[in-house]
Structure 1
């Protein structure tokens, strides 16, 4: 396996009430300590960045796997929710909605449903987080393009 390297530059201005910037080749964002921890909260915070990474990895993995299965996907949306509690720990739930062309067969719908679950197992970021005891749940839905207009 080839080596993968990411360079990220971080600059911070001020104290806990300050803020900063992070940037990489194709990524740039403001960062700040959350208000609940004494900061200004006007920027991305660490948990949000972790959840964003998990969502990006999962959705990109899902898109690639759907394409590899030659499924005619006309749309994909996803919501992601993260919770952190003493009882359950850190938990991320992805809610992908895959929209197939109106002429998709029953086999293609079943394949898309299987792919929604398989993408979770193939997502590198998700797998790293699971090793750190983060629970990742997938609650996906597959619909046909004609059903989307009726259900929204």
Structure 2
């Protein structure tokens, strides 16, 4: 089955204007960054690209953790994108998996392996890698305690 994604975009004004992109479950403002002469009053293309990579990695990781039947108490992630002449475009994910307090060492190791496997299994990340974007992951696994309750 071929996947089809339909988006509707409306743009108002010139380069200082802004627009809206709508899809089934997405509605977001877009704008040219101020740095490039735009209004900056919306998401810019690279931010959307990184958001897509973040969503793909997170969902891939969540599915892998469920498949492994791990006692996940929480999953959070920070991601960072940088663009430099020396290194090009780079995206780093920093997932933090919190397992229940009684998780075994084997389950902790399985969660650590899932962090790496999700990077290899994320379709969007793999497309970006083919386009010479560096995508990496540095995750951590910890056990549930009073200090790291996810709310």
**TM-score (structure 1 length as normaliser):** 0.96
**After superposition, where does 1:1-152 map in structure 2 within 5 Å?**
2-146=1-145, 148-149=147-148
Shift, 1:149, TM fit: 3.8
Runs of 4+ in 1 over 2 A off after TM superposition: 147-150
Unaligned runs of 5+ in 2: none
CA distance in 2, matches of 1:129, 1:136: 8
Q: Deviations over 1:89-116 (max 9, x none)?
A: 0000000000000000000000000000
Give CA deviations for 1:61-86 in whole Å, capped at 9, x if unaligned.
00000000000101000000000001
TM-score by length of 2: 0.96
Q: Distance in 1 between matches of 2:52 and 2:148?
A: 30
- Structure 1 unaligned segments of length 5 or more: list them: none
**Counterparts of 1:9 and 1:149, CA distance in 2:** 40
Shift of 1:146: 1.6
